[in-house]
Structure formats: C-alpha cells, structure tokens
DNA sequence: CTAGGGTTAG
C-alpha cells in the first residue's frame, strides 16, 4: 500500500516540478507561457482596448483554435475592467465555444448575462445561437432564452426550423401540450406552420396515446394550407396500432398508400414505409407485413430495394426478439437450454 | 477579402 502510494506520489510530482521552478517566471517567450497567464501577458497589456478587431480575434481564437473558453472569459473580464464593451461577435464566440465544449447550461446562462448587459445580437445571430442551444435537448432552458431574447429585442422571431425543433423536443419529453403552445406561439409571431411542425406534433400526441388530439391536428392543418403527407399518416397509424385499434389502423393504411401515390418527396415515402413496417412487426401483425411483401401496395413510390431490405430487416429483428423471449421463458420454467449441435 | 454562423418529422 505504502509503496504504491509513494510511487504514485513520485510519479505525480514530476510534471509539477517545472512549474514550481522560479526560472519559469523568467520566460518571456509567449509559447512558454501557460494559458492561464495569457490574460496578463505584458505585451497585451500595452495593446489599447480600442483595438477591437485585435481583441475580437483573440477571443475568437481562444474559443476555436485553443478550445479554451475559460481563458476567453477571463480575458473578457479583464478587458471589461479596462472599459471594453463586449459586442455580439464576442458573445457569439463565447456561446459557440461553450456549446462546442458541451457546456450547455453555462451557454444558456451566459447568453442571458450578455443580454442583461445590453449586448443584443442581430436577428440572424440570435437564430444561429438558438440553433446551437437546441443541441442541449433542454427545451425549457432554450425556450427561456428565447423569451429573454424577445424581451430585449421585441421584433425577434425565432426561425421556423428552430420552432419545429423546439416542438420536437417538447414532444420527446412527453409534453405535446407544451409543444402545441409553441405552434400557436409561432403563428402569433407571424409564421405559417409547416408539415414538419404538424407531423412532429401528431407523433408527439400519439407517443403518449392521445390519439384523438392527433386526429384533431389533421382537421387543423388545412387552416394553414398544410396537407398531411405520407409520414403524417404513418405516424398516426403507429399510434392507432399501439392502442390495438387494428380496424382503424388497416383503414388508415389504405389512406396512406393512396397518399404515397402523389407524394413528391420520395424520402418521405421511404420514411413512412419504414415506420409502417416497423410498427406492424412490433405489434405482431405479420399477416399485414406479408401482405405488403406480396402485393407491394406502395408500388414504385418507394425504392424497391429499400422496401425489401426494410421488410427483411424488420422481420428479422422482431423474429429474433421473439426467439429470445421464447428462450427466456423456457429457461424460467425450468426447461433445459436448447442443446447446440457440436 | 469587414470578422462568424445552423437546418427540423422518421
């Protein structure tokens, strides 16, 4: 024990030695300076704080090239004490740096701090920053930032895609009601919801079993000139089948295959087809799957290789699950495990 | 050549 601890100590003490050496303080070569001392660099002390482009680049380089946001923040604090007012470029560098380092809580917090010191970026930058904050998958926090942005910049309108991503994130934490409010928010701020907005919400309600709310959305879509696409139907079917409403599910399958016929976006058809096959397999409705495999009701609206590939894939995956469950149940009941051929 | 910068449903 002692020996190992001692040897650990010895090993640990080695890298610290050079730093403790008084000689290191004599070094004036910038490359020999540890990062922590950059803010106090003598050469930089003499650079005027009005040289904004110099400091902006410095802060940006610290956040990107050196991946050292903390040093950038320290430098910014230092400059602020000398009367420098951070601008939206500095703000942008810092927020991007924090997001790159996966420090999303700080990124949200820091953006609000910048706002309260009246550093408010332009519309485009606001949307770029919101887009980055959305990677945190913390919709409440990001929504709070959006509210603060609007507070300081009343004309700010989050982009349609940012709204849609926010809707998706509220749905994925099982809060489609909150997501639905986002839809009305975006309408109030002048957006026309897109098919992505509505399909996301349909899926959100289906995931928590609120099928009737999902249905209501199909009535609401035309008010905004939105036409449900094959993926919208496919996701609704998933919700309906999960409720074991086979009759309504098969009914909707016909609607889906009709809709596929005039779907312009082939990738939407592929996604809709894949989702349908997946949930049919998961629900054990193999007859329907075999019907699809034989009759191919999607015709040439889905790439044939993709369709067969996905059918085989889903059947195989579900089949393996069944085998595993069977194996588990038989073991549990005391049956000997399957003997393997030598 | 005035800095930099994100993109959704499955």
Q: What is the DSSP letter of A336?
A: P
Question: Interhelix angle for A266-282 vs A246-261, to 10°?
Answer: 160
Q: Give the nucleotide with minimal C1' distance to the Cα of A93.
A: B4
Report whether pLDDT(A338) > 60: no
Nucleotide nearest to A91 (CA to C1'): B4
Cα dihedral sign for A322, A324, A325, A326? positive
Residues A207 and A292 in one domain: no
The nucleotide lying nearest A274 (C-alpha to C1') is B10
Question: Does A211 share its domain with A234?
Answer: no
Average predicted confidence (pLDDT) for chain A: 87
Residue A342 lies in a domain: no
Q: What is the pLDDT of residue A190?
A: 96
| A169 and A87 within one domain | no
Whether residues A76 and A120 share a domain: the answer is yes
- Widest distance between CA atoms in chain A: 83
Contact present, A264 and A222 (Cβ < 8 Å): no
Residue nearest to nucleotide B5 (CA to C1'): A128
* Per-residue buried b or exposed e for A8-30, using 16+ beta carbons within 10 Å of the residue's own CB: eeeeeeeeeeeeeeeeeeeeeee
State yes or no: pLDDT of A332 exceeds 50. yes
In a domain, A150, yes or no: no
Q: Which nucleotide is nearest to A169 (CA to C1')?
A: B8
Rounded Cα distance between A214 and A171, Å, is 12
CA A317 and chain centroid, separation: 27
Q: State mean pLDDT over A139-165.
A: 98
Nearest nt (C1') from A92 Cα = B4
Query: Each residue of A35-65: pLDDT tens digit?
Result: 444 445 666 677 788 889 999 999 999 999 9
More confident site: A265 or A341: A265
Residue A211 belongs to a domain:
yes
A302 found inside a domain = yes
- Shared domain for A206 and A233, answered yes or no, is no
Residue-wise pLDDT for A207-216, tens only, equals 999 999 999 9
For chain A, the domain total comes to: 3
> Do the domain assignments include residue A58?
yes
Same domain, A41 and A134: yes
Per-residue pLDDT tens over the stretch A167-180: 999 999 999 999 99
Nucleotide nearest to A88 (CA to C1'): B4
**Whether A116 and A40 share a structural domain:** yes
Domain co-membership, A207 together with A240: no
- CA closest to B7 C1', residue: A161
In this complex, the residue with its CA at the shortest distance from the C1' of nucleotide B2 is A53
Does any domain span residue A20?
Answer: no
What is the distance in angstroms measured between the alpha-carbon CA of A60 and the sugar C1' of B3? 10
Query: Closest Cα partner for A123 from A157, A89, A161, A90?
Result: A157
Q: pLDDT band at A27, cuts 50/70/90?
A: very low
A59 domain residue, yes or no: yes
A36/B1 CA-to-C1' distance in Å: 33
Footprint of strand B on the protein (CB under 7 A): A 52-53, 56-57, 60, 64, 88-89, 92, 96, 121-122, 124-125, 127-128, 131-132, 135, 159-162, 164-165, 168, 194-197, 199-200, 203, 229, 231-232, 235, 265, 267-268, 270-271, 274-275, 278
> Which two three-digit tokens encode residue A129?
């920053």
Containing domain of residue A234, as a range? 229-325
Question: Which among A107, A138, A169 is the end of a domain?
Answer: A138
Instruction: State whether A212 and A237 are in the same domain.
Output: no
Do A247 and A294 reside in the same domain of the chain? yes
pLDDT in tens, A91-128: 999 999 999 999 999 999 999 999 999 999 999 999 99
Distance A271 CA to B8 C1' (A): 15
Judge whether A265 and A229 are in contact, CB under 8 Å: yes
Instruction: Mark whether A132 and A195 lie in a shared domain.
Output: no
Alpha carbon A68 to its chain's center: 24
Q: Specify whether A208 is located in the same domain as A170.
A: yes
| Strand B bases contacted by the protein (CB, 7 Å) | 2-10
A333 within a domain of the structure (yes/no) = no
Model confidence at A328: pLDDT above 80: no
Choosing from A138, A167, A191, the residue where a domain stops is: A138
What is the distance in angstroms measured between the alpha-carbon CA of A21 and the sugar C1' of B10?
60
């Amino acid at each position: 024990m002692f020996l190992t601890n001692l040897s650990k100590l010895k090993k640990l003490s080695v890298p610290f030695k050079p730093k403790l050496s008084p000689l290191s303080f004599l070094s004036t070569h910038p490359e020999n300076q540890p990062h922590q001392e950059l803010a106090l660099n003598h050469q930089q002390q003499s650079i005027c704080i009005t040289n904004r482009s110099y400091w902006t680049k410095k802060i940006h380089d610290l956040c990107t090239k050196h991946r050292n946001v903390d040093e950038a923040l320290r430098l910014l604090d230092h400059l602020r004490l000398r009367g420098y007012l951070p601008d939206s470029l500095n703000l942008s560098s810092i927020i991007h740096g924090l997001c790159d380092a996966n420090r999303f809580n700080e990124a949200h917090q820091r953006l609000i701090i910048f706002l309260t010191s009246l550093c408010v970026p332009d519309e485009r930058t606001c949307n770029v920053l919101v887009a980055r904050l959305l990677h945190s998958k913390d919709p409440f926090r990001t929504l709070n930032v959006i509210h603060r942005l609007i507070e300081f910049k009343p004309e700010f309108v989050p982009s349609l895609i940012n709204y849609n991503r926010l809707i998706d994130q509220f749905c994925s934490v099982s809060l489609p009601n909150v997501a639905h409010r986002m839809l009305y928010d975006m309408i109030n701020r002048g957006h026309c919801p897109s098919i992505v907005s509505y399909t996301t919400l349909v899926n959100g309600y289906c995931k928590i079993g609120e099928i009737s709310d999902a249905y209501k959305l199909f009535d609401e879509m035309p008010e905004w000139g939105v036409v449900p696409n094959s993926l919208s139907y496919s996701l609704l079917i998933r919700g309906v089948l999960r409720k074991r409403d086979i009759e309504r599910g098969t009914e909707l399958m016909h609607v889906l295959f009709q809709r596929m016929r005039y779907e312009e976006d082939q990738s939407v058809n592929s996604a809709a087809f894949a989702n349908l096959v997946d949930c049919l397999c998961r629900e054990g409705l193999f007859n329907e799957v075999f019907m699809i495999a034989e009759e191919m009701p999607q015709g040439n609206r889905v790439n044939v290789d993709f369709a067969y590939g996905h059918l085989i894939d889903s059947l195989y995956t579900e089949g393996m699950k069944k085998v595993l469950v069977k194996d588990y149940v038989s073991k549990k009941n005391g049956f000997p495990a399957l003997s393997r051929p030598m």
